[in-house]
Chains A and B, each alone.
Chain A
Amino acid sequence: QVQLQESGPGLVKPSQTLSLTCTVSGGSISNGGYYWSWIRQHPGRGLEWIGYISYSGSTYYNPSLKSRITISADTSKNQFSLNLSSVTAADTAVYYCARGGDYDDPFDQWGQGTLATVSS
């Protein structure tokens, strides 16, 4: 069974870049035809899909966040990462990494999530 684990700083200053990494175990991110997504949940609120990177390295981002997002992968470490630039307090959320994300590819495995707080 594949497992995902998020990591990254819990506190980021406004206008800086939030950088998070998801380490995948039990399966390769570059094999198997899977897509790998980032999803966030604002405190006490619903879920928002951020974007994905595919097994081949192609990316696709939520149009509402596209200008600030970069998702990349390090296949040697079996990790994929999220960079969210120019953060504000509105970006404070629990960030999840998950397997899945293509239009017909459900999010079937999730990490436990990591809280990122934007504050000076």
Chain B
Amino acid sequence: QSVLTQPPSASGTPGQRVTISCSASSSNIGNNAVNWFQQLPGAAPKLLIFDNDQRPSGVPDRFSGSKSGTSASLAISGLQSEDEADYYCAAWDDRLNGWVFGGGTKLTVL
């Protein structure tokens, strides 16, 4: 069981806006920045969002992140077929003294 809680699946149609949630406790998300990763089938994870809402160079602005209290969200607007992937949130946990990840959300583009 993962420390950070994500819905196991999400879906949307092309062009739609989808959000994926990530929740936990004050020892991780509440105190520290949240990062999001995209893992395409058969590939390594890729950093999508860092510091709650910052996009690395090259990540389309269709992807956005937000955080409030002990919850965070990843939003994908203008959904495209190539967005079909697994998405993971991560944060440093002050109580466990290490990085913790969500269990991942499998996004299906219908």
Q: Which one of A46, A49, A101, A110 has the highest number of Cβ atoms from chain B below 10 Å of its Cβ? A: A46
Count contacts on B: residues with CB < 8 A to the other chain: 25
Cβ of A48 within 8 Å of any chain B Cβ, yes or no, is: yes
Could you tell me if B50 and A112 are in contact, using CB atoms closer than 8 angstroms?
no
B2 / chain A contacts, CB cutoff of 8 Å: 46
Determine if A80 is an interface residue (Cβ-Cβ < 8 Å). Answer: no
Known: A46-B102, A49-B98. A104 touches B92 (CB 8 A): yes
A63: chain B residues at CB < 8 Å are 96-98
A49 to B37, CA, bound (A): 14
A111 lies within 8 A of chain B by Cβ: yes
User: Is the pair B35, A46 in contact by a Cβ cutoff of 8 Å?
Assistant: no
Q: Assess the B44–A106 pair: CB atoms within 8 A.
A: no
Q: Roughly how many angstroms separate A6 CA and B32 CA in the complex, as a whole number?
A: 29
Establish whether residues B44 and A46, one from each chain, have CB atoms under 8 Å apart when the complex forms. no
**Nearest A residue (CB) for B49:** A106
Given contacts A46-B88, A47-B45, A96-B44, contact A104 B33 (CB under 8 A): yes
User: CB within 8 Å of A: which residues of B?
Assistant: 2, 32-33, 35, 37, 43-47, 50-51, 56, 88, 90, 92, 96-104
